[in-house]
Amino acid sequence: MGDVVEFVNVNGFPHNVQFDPAHIPQGALPFLMRAMATKMAPNLPASPMMTRPNEVYRINFAGAPVGTYNYFCLPHQALGMKGVLTVAQ
């Protein structure tokens, strides 16, 4: 529990965190665009590639719209590297 979520690249292979705008709570896209300090592209809720072992990407979800946020790793999406983050009150 908490406001900050950490995504850690434990092995050094290229990974990122990308949210699917079709599978996040209504109104969450503008929040994510502000909360993700660095992004892969200006209009995409995706972190840059993490390529170093133990590299961390943090997102502060304080004040985020309640609901479920589906995310995936772009390079490994076809391999099933995905997850669901739940924001509750």
Catalytic residue among 1, 15, 23, 49: 15
Which of 9, 10, 12, 33 has the alpha carbon at shortest distance from 21?
33
Active-site residue 15, yes or no?
Answer: yes
Active-site residue 1, yes or no?
Answer: no
Catalytic residue among 33, 40, 49, 76: 76
3-state secondary structure of 15: strand
**Maximum separation of any 2 CA atoms in the chain, in Å:** 35
Active-site residue 76, yes or no?
Answer: yes
Q: Catalytic residue positions?
A: 15, 73, 76, 81
